[in-house]
Amino acid sequence: MHKTIVPAITILLLVSVSGLAFSQANRNHLNPALPMDERISILIRQMTLEEKVEQMSYKSPAIPRLQVPAYNWWNEALHGVARSANATVFPQAIGLAAAFDEDLAFRIADAVSDEARAIYNAAVRKGSRLRYAGLTFWTPNINIFRDPRWGRGQETYGEDPFLTSRLGLSFVKGLQGNHPKYLKVAACAKHFAVHSGPEKLRHEFNAVVSPKDLHETYLPAFKTLVHGGVEAVMCAYNRTNDEPCCGSQALLVDLLRNRWGFQGHVVSDCWALVDIHQGHKITAGPVETVALSLKKGVHLNCGDEYVPHLIDAVKQGLVTEKEIDQALSVLWRTRFRLGMFDPDADNPYSAIPTSVINSPDHRKIALEAARKSIVMLKNNGVLPLKSDIPYLFLTGPNATSVDALLGNYYGVNQNMVTIQEGVAARLYPGSLMQYKQGFLADRDNINPIDWTSGDAKQADAILVAMGLTANLEGEEGESIASADFGDRLTYDLPGNQIDFLKKLRKDNTKPIIVVITAGSPVNMSEISELADAVLWAWYPGEEGGNAVADVLFGNVSPSGRLPITFPQSFAQLPPYENYSMAGRTYRYMTQEPFYPFGYGLSYTRFRYSGLKLSKDTIKKGESIETEITVTNEGKMEGEEVVQLYIQPDHPRNLAPRFALKGMKRISLKPGESVRVSFPVTPEAMSVFDPEGNEGIEPGFVHVFVGGCLPVKRSLDLGMPPVLTARLEVRE
């Protein structure tokens, strides 16, 4: 009996000890005291191949035995937490670009990420793991707005790589926070790379680009954000130079990983992997596609391709489980950095309360941003209006439109201030205001009888809110009123809008003030002739109506600047499908624009004087300081965007005509002066050769400082003269 009992007890003890050890192994990845890489390794070793592949899908399921909750990676925060809960709606990205304000971009992103954490914390407490409730935000869009026809250009920071780099980096820092261990949220630089339309062709399009254009225009912002620590990069739908972006050796391996040293994860644009075999015809089918994408460095699939086809790829010997482990470890690192497997008490971001969501402080930032984004394109003296104006007539479909505030990729809340509401709130008692829509947004009125234009002419001033919304421009599947999948293949506003403006102008000497909402340039030739004043409001967000009213009635002086060139017509542009930068954007366009990059009028008058370089001659690799005095010679306090442009004198390398290399927003009271300085670094003076190599060549560099792009058109439109100095670079 003794001999039979002992072995049984021994076996039982061994099983118990083994079970305890297995249980401990299960829990070790949850131990915050262990190094992160060790925790990730422990977790991956316990997973089956099927579980590993499932975690590489954007809709990652739970693994209860490992205490891993379900997680949906897909979330958006282009200008506020989008497609989710109640949230602050800031101006659309192109409007933020018009503010030319890095600090503002950071503060907006910091507010957005606070709200994102609060929403996530609340969702987790409720057990919600739905899409748009996570902490991985596929923001910002740092593609170059190279052509006004692209409907998604509104998502970008404009046409300039320097402006895009500076604002994108500030936004990423605001989103991700500065904690030494934890990310507040994970940001994502998209769409990598050379991606800016056409929308209709994006699933099959091959963007052919020279090495010079690639490195001089399309890649600088991505490089800046990667070196600045962005957590994720999204590969684009299209091909670039014959390689699908989500399977590109040149982009994902040679450049992103090997040359730039990117350590974060790469996510595919949604269902972009399908395009590799169906649209681009690069691979024979989905199994070959997922093998290609995995080997080139795509860790996360937004789509349904990795599951189940990666398992088939392993079985067929196209990829190894070790390669899957390596990719999965990068994804786990993001989730661990977000603190998803640590106690809430360890992570300060877990304590952010829901009271921050659309809080008064965040609404103040939204109002500030909307005010700073508005660009005054014309004013013959009719603005600002007086709040005691006897009779103001407001018309136009965008006056009461919430869509005109939003753009695309937007959030919602219960207090969206339309233009009509903002204007009405500024009028003093005793002033009369009438509103009638007057005309439809995109087609002729069905009823030919028009009372509005006649009634409007009886007023002391007519305010017309017109332009576009995301129904007419945007992404392929959301622009429901667009015949061109969200792109704008004609440069004009809908003809009925211009026709109505002509009716208002006919036999009428009363002031006509036009407020335009849109995310891309339009033909302004007729509008400029018909209107006495024009404000460009972009998609100004939840406080848009208040911001427009503040500018109209002179509570603030307009200070926005155009982050994209308004050409005279599409005739000035190369073919849309041509990705060469020749003739595009202010940097390479030789014809005079209608409105130049960096342009915007003010209610006050600024004067530039005393431009000084710390040195007139430098050696390659040296920096200089540039100083200038800016004076407010007007009668109103105002903000000015001081801009520094470089023009290398290297025609053999086809250097940009001008290149923005510095910007500062300053506020000056009437009569006040301030001395503004900029560093001019070797990087600012560098040029790219035809092979895409960057360097500094001996010769002269022209330095321009002023309130706008230094072209003749700026002076014609009333901008103050830009000052220039010449710098010699020697060996």
Structure token digits, residue 534: 């024009």
Which whole-number Å values give the CA distances from 701 to 550, 598, 681, 687, 707, in the listed order? 41, 21, 12, 11, 20
DSSP code at position 579: -
Greatest CA separation for the chain: 117
Token look-up 């036999």 returns: 507
Query: And the tokens for 159?
Result: 């046409």
User: Which parts of 327-428 are beta strand (E)?
Assistant: 375-379, 391-395
Listed residue (632, 645, 714) closest to 680, CA to CA: 645
User: Residues 283, 288, 290, 292: is their CA dihedral positive or negative?
Assistant: negative
Q: CB neighbours (10 Å) of residue 340?
A: 18
Q: CA distances (Å), 102 to each of 139, 170, 219, 559, 665, in order?
A: 16, 6, 20, 15, 9
State how far the Cα of 484 lies from the Cα of 475, in Å rounded to an integer. Answer: 10
- The two three-digit tokens of residue 144, written as one number: 């170059």
Task: Give residue 113's identity as a one-letter amino acid code.
Answer: S
Tell me if 240 sits within 8 A of 285, measured CB to CB.
Answer: no
384-402 burial by CB neighbour count: b if 16+ within 10 A, else e? bbebebeebbbbbbbbbbb
Task: Sort strands 265-268 and 232-235 into parallel, antiparallel or unpaired.
Answer: parallel
Q: Which pair of structure tokens corresponds to residue 170?
A: 């500030």
Cis check: omega of the bond before 198, within 30 degrees of 0 = yes
Per-residue tokens: 134: 């996570």
Point out which residues pair with 434 in neighbouring strands. Answer: 393
Q: How far apart are CA 289 and CA 377, in angstroms?
A: 49
Between CA 715 and CA 4 the distance in angstroms is 103
Q: Which amino acid is it at 353? A: P
Look up residue 52 and give its two tokens.
Answer: 């590993």
- The 3-class secondary structure across 159-181, one letter per residue, is CCHHHHHHHHHHHHHHHHCCCCC
| 269 classed as catalytic | yes
Can you count the helices (H) and strands (E) in the chain? 22, 24
Say how far apart CA 197 and CA 476 lie, in whole Å. Answer: 10
What burial letters (b/e) apply to 177-208, b meaning 16+ CB within 10 Å?
A: beeeebbbbbbbbbbbbbbbbbbebbbebbbe
Best CA proximity match to 30, nearest among 333, 327, 340: 340
Please pick, among 269, 475, 542, 640, the residue that the annotation labels catalytic: 269
| Residues noted as catalytic | 269, 473
